[in-house]
Structure 1
C-alpha cells in the first residue's frame, strides 16, 4: 500500500493506493495557516474493516505534528478515532 498526499490552497486529501487503485481517502479543508478540518473518510467496500481509515488518520496526525497544524475532526469516523485514542489528541484544535 502506498499513501499519497495532495493539497492546494483550500483542500487536501490523503489516500491509499494498492496496485494503482485508490482504496481509501481522507479529505480535509484548510482552515487557516495552522488548522485543518477533516471532513470525509471513505474506504473501498472490499477493504472495509482492514484498518485503512486508521492508517490514513495516523498519516495525517503525523503530518499535523510535523507541520504544527491542529485538526478539527468533523468527519464521524475521524471524530470517533480521536475519542478512542488519547495518544493522538495532541493535534486537536
Structure 2
C-alpha cells in the first residue's frame, strides 16, 4: 500500500485512494504545537478489512512522527488502543 500525505501545518492526513480516486483509508492528525500532533481519526473501507490497513496507516504516522521528532496524542480510539497494546510505540506517545 502506497499512502499519500497532505499537511498544511494545521492538520494533516495519510490516505489511500483506489484506482478511481475514491478514498478507501485514512488516518488524520491535528497540529497541537511544533512538537505535538493529535491523532484524531482512523478509517478503513470495508473492502480493506482484514488486510492490516489501519495498522499500516498507524505505522506511517509513527514513522512520520519519529522522523520529525514529534509526540502523538491519541484521541482516535484505534490509535489509543494500539498505543496501550504495543510498547514499541511508547517513544512517540505524548
TM-score, reference length from structure 1: 0.92
Higher strand share: 1
- RMSD between superposed Cα atoms in Å: 1.2
> Does the Cα contact within 8 Å between 1:5 and 1:12 map onto a contact in 2?
yes
What SS class does the counterpart of residue 39 from structure 2 fall into? strand
- List, as ranges, runs of 4+ consecutive aligned residues in structure 1 with deviation greater than 4 Å: none
Question: Where in structure 1 are there 5+ consecutive unaligned residues?
Answer: none
C-alpha separation in 1, matches of 2:17 and 2:89: 24
Question: Where in structure 2 are there 5+ consecutive unaligned residues?
Answer: none
TM-score, reference length from structure 2: 0.91
Aligned to 1:29: 30
